[in-house]
Structure 1
Amino acid sequence: MEHGQAAVGTRSRWYDGLTAMHWRVLRASFLGWIFDGYEALALVVVLGPMLHSVLSPAQAASPTIYAGLVIGITLLGWGAGGLIGGILADYVGRKRMMLWSVFLYAVLSGLTAFSQTFWTLCALRFLTGLAMGSEWSTGIALLSETWPEQARAKGAGFLQSGFGWGTLIAAVVWYALSSTHPLGAETWRLMFVLGALPAFFVLYIRRGVNESEKWQRAVREKRWSATNAQPGADAAQAAGKRPFTLAQLFSEREALRRTLILLVLSIVTTVGWWAISSWLPTFTVALAKAEGLPDALSWGSKVSISYTVGAIVAYLLAGFIVDAIGRRAFLSLTFVGSLLTTFITYRLTSSVEAMMIVAPINGFFTLGCAYVWMAIYPCELFNVTVRSTAISFVFNAARLIAWVFPIVAGSMIKSFGGVSQAALALGSVYLIGIVLPWFLPETRGSGMPD
């Protein structure tokens, strides 16, 4: 009897059934997302010295304009590349797109180190974003189609944490480089040389990861419908040419409804996160200066790291929480937490000491929970032959809207009357996110649609 009880207890563990191949898929996708996180923050932390090197004397008279341009152009490339790569992954396979995405953005990141003019820098940043944009959606699709049901949400959360770890690595590397200045004023170039290292990772992916069998089988059987809401669509479509996956998201009624709701939720996440995270260091530095603290600028970096640590904790826990309370409740409570912590951060926090406590809680909701749902939930709402297209569209279409924010940031702060007021105004978008999830189907325990 005791042996039987022990066996039942053993079978109830979430990681039962995971094989070496499952863990290799996670490691491959996780490491790729670490490199993305590193690349994203590397651009931000070296922005000052980088612009000092590449701007002409005339351009240097307006540094904020060019800072916004280079960040915005990178985001534009990232969004466009993610959308294109996600679509291609539904045609040529998840593994192949991961290989090309990682390899190309690694090479282009390395070439960024040799930029001599601002416009060369922008071109390379756009191409780097274009290349690395699809790494996330292909990794998520591959993991979701290979991991068993009881572990899938946890694995997706672990994968998503790679971005947070990547930003932390970038922060630590830049701290070390900026403290030692091995190349003097040109030390920033080393950050992008290190960004080229993922090229070696391509060899690991090729050797250690298999293609998604579910995707291969669905393509062979010509199962083209976007959702399970139209069970007869496959038979009708199999006789003709395969529909364009992106068009399917808007031509099938239920797919359209799900796509639009998820897109609005993604925009809510992106707009809220952009306002909270990008202005948090500036707001914290202002608090430090008001308190008369020495080295006030250092508090901006400290609070960014604290904020990111909170997000990493959310990534690691999210899969367990979402399996316990359901997808819709998780989403709704995420935006409740985001709204409350944003109000606490920008209205009730008046010292850097308090901010160091509040920031990780804010990061837990506005960066961690607010993004990890995209790695778990949309995969469960679309069939396998359009899955990569759907999740990449939901994730990247919001970026194609948000890329203008860095360019107009200064004007927005001025219009709202300060950083605090601007953050609170944009943070009110979380109200939409509290309500919308309840118009989507609950998928907890229902498995992945084929």
Structure 2
Amino acid sequence: MQKTIRATAVNTSHPDSLTRQHWFVLAITMVLWMFDGYETYALLLTIGPSLHELLPRSELHNLSHFAAYLISLTLFGWAVGGVLGGLIGDRIGRRATMIGAVVLYSIFTGTSALAHSWQILALTRFLTGIGLGAEWGVGASLLQEVWPEKLRTRAAGVLQAAFSCGFVIASVLWLIIGGAFGGSWRWLYIVGIAPAIFVVITGRAIPESEPWTRATSNASSAVTLRAYLRTLIIAVIISSSITVAFWAISSWVPTYVAVLVHNPREAVSYAGWAGLLFAIGEIFGCVSFGWLAESWGRRWTLVFFLAGSILITPVVFLLVKGAPLFVLLQIPNGFFTGGIYGWYAVHPPELFPTRIRSSAISIIFNSARFLAMLGPILSSSLIAFFGGYGIAATIASSIFLIGIVAIFFLPETKGRPLPA
């Protein structure tokens, strides 16, 4: 603890300079958030093969409905874990909460590989979701509270991009395991044990946030979420718009591309490439969000990404009929539809003081998943009603319009210091 306090004291005396501790905090939060992305996308990539193995043959015609249940239960667990993790992070600290969350989701990702029925897989994915949700809020808070004022927005964009790096790793592994070697979907979940090993090795070196330590020891800094209720509600509305539309659209990318080809082996390969290119586009999108937010402000940057998502969705799902072009277009699709998530790490942490920051941004990021869990179920119903993915995805993208309107009811925080 003495080492941590001494390091942060050096940081405070040079507010605009970067130290080894700054880079270490960025690296550790990025790696853990990257693992979150891997654990999430492993489900989307393998959901088809796993359900083909676990479902009775008589239920295979309802595969899209069972896929929606698995995704929705994961999101439900994420929502529960996110809200709890944020509250716990403001009480016991960013470091301990983050480590506990990573161990939790690693264990249950590993046990997903042992599932012998779709119900057991659903249970392990729900428990995995709890850990996934709990990790982000405390990690984002730690980064924002440690990094220098003038540089933290760009660092936040880079942090959010790490989630997509996990998509890339999952996609590459699936291309190798499922595509080149024809291996089982279970191997992707076995690899998911790695984060627990990582935090066991590095956990002692993760510092605690000095602003959090200072705020919790100062009785005069006590503040409640009720004082920021209007801001919180508007931010949750924006988050709901982003999250519901994102999961209603992007979660079907690997499954949809399989419809465009007839060879099952090719379907695995195209699904892997689609996921990989979407993730690459998302990485550039999240990093760009942090840079653009410094120039355009938080509001107009989010409007740019939301509008881009609305425009790209019908192009990808309605106009394109061939698998190769569909896969290639996942780069701009990922840039806009995935890059939106850069908003979470940039704007919400600037709206709340340190004492409630982890709770507030976790509620914003994760409570929307209570609604988002309905996204895949809604889209699967639209797919069945319209007889295809194109119109269903286009209708779902209109939900982004809610976010475009709501963002103008939040304060513009460009150039303002992080609330103490």
The question of a shared fold, defined as TM-score above 0.5 by the shorter chain, is answered with yes
The answer as to 2:305 corresponding to 1:334 is yes
The separation in 2 between residues aligned to 1:64 and 1:353, in whole angstroms, is: 23
* Among 231, 238, 254, the residue aligned to 1:265: 238
Structure 2 residue aligned with 1:191: 188
The Cα of 1:132 is off from its aligned counterpart by 2.3
The separation in 1 between residues aligned to 2:272 and 2:217, in whole angstroms, is: 51
The answer as to 2:351 corresponding to 1:381 is yes
Residue identity (%): 39
The Cα of 1:268 is off from its aligned counterpart by 1.2
Could you tell me whether the CA contact under 8 Å between 1:25 and 1:209 is conserved in 2? yes
Q: How do 1:242-253 residues align onto structure 2 when only pairs under 5 Å count? A: 248-249=224-225, 251-252=226-227
Could you tell me whether the CA contact under 8 Å between 2:156 and 2:345 is conserved in 1? yes
Instruction: In structure 2, give the amino acid aligned to 1:364.
Output: F
Could you tell me whether the CA contact under 8 Å between 2:174 and 2:272 is conserved in 1? no
Instruction: In structure 2, give the amino acid aligned to 1:371.
Output: Y
The Cα of 1:404 is off from its aligned counterpart by 2.6
The Cα of 1:181 is off from its aligned counterpart by 4.8
The separation in 1 between residues aligned to 2:57 and 2:64, in whole angstroms, is: 14
Structure 2 residue aligned with 1:410: 380
Instruction: In structure 1, give the amino acid aligned to 2:250.
Output: S
Instruction: In structure 2, give the amino acid aligned to 1:212.
Output: S
Q: Based on CA coordinates, which of the two structures has the bigger radius of gyration?
A: 1
Structure 1 residue aligned with 2:34: 34
The answer as to 2:219 corresponding to 1:222 is yes
Structure 2 residue aligned with 1:208: 205
Q: TM-score, normalised by structure 2?
A: 0.89
Structure 1 residue aligned with 2:389: 419
The separation in 1 between residues aligned to 2:197 and 2:139, in whole angstroms, is: 17
Q: TM-score, normalised by structure 1?
A: 0.83
The Cα of 1:44 is off from its aligned counterpart by 2.0
Q: How do 1:228-243 residues align onto structure 2 when only pairs under 5 Å count? A: none
Q: How do 1:47-446 residues align onto structure 2 when only pairs under 5 Å count? A: 47-56=47-56, 62-179=62-179, 181=181, 187-224=184-221, 226=223, 248-249=224-225, 251-252=226-227, 255-286=228-259, 295=266, 298-352=269-323, 354-368=325-339, 370-416=340-386, 418-446=388-416
The separation in 1 between residues aligned to 2:383 and 2:221, in whole angstroms, is: 47
Could you tell me whether the CA contact under 8 Å between 2:292 and 2:301 is conserved in 1? yes
The Cα of 1:397 is off from its aligned counterpart by 1.0
Name which of structure 1's ranges 138-147 and 275-284 shifts more when overlaid on structure 2: 275-284
The separation in 2 between residues aligned to 1:95 and 1:308, in whole angstroms, is: 28
The separation in 1 between residues aligned to 2:148 and 2:201, in whole angstroms, is: 23
Could you tell me whether the CA contact under 8 Å between 2:99 and 2:199 is conserved in 1? yes
The Cα of 1:432 is off from its aligned counterpart by 2.2
The Cα of 1:225 is off from its aligned counterpart by 5.4
The Cα of 1:224 is off from its aligned counterpart by 4.8
The separation in 2 between residues aligned to 1:354 and 1:197, in whole angstroms, is: 34
State the secondary structure of the residue aligned to 1:115: coil
Number of aligned positions between the proteins:
405
Could you tell me whether the CA contact under 8 Å between 1:342 and 1:427 is conserved in 2? yes
More helix by share: 2
The separation in 2 between residues aligned to 1:285 and 1:115, in whole angstroms, is: 24
Instruction: Let me know the Cα RMSD of the aligned residues.
Output: 2.5
The Cα of 1:35 is off from its aligned counterpart by 0.8
The separation in 2 between residues aligned to 1:140 and 1:333, in whole angstroms, is: 23
Name which of structure 1's ranges 115-124 and 57-66 shifts more when overlaid on structure 2: 57-66
The Cα of 1:399 is off from its aligned counterpart by 0.9
The separation in 2 between residues aligned to 1:66 and 1:417, in whole angstroms, is: 17
Structure 1 segments unaligned to the other structure (5+ residues): 1-14, 227-247
Q: How do 1:15-26 residues align onto structure 2 when only pairs under 5 Å count? A: 17-26=17-26
The Cα of 1:386 is off from its aligned counterpart by 0.7
Structure 2 segments unaligned to the other structure (5+ residues): 1-14
Residues 1:352 and 1:189: Cα distance change in structure 2 (over 3 Å): closer
The separation in 1 between residues aligned to 2:172 and 2:199, in whole angstroms, is: 24
The separation in 2 between residues aligned to 1:288 and 1:132, in whole angstroms, is: 33
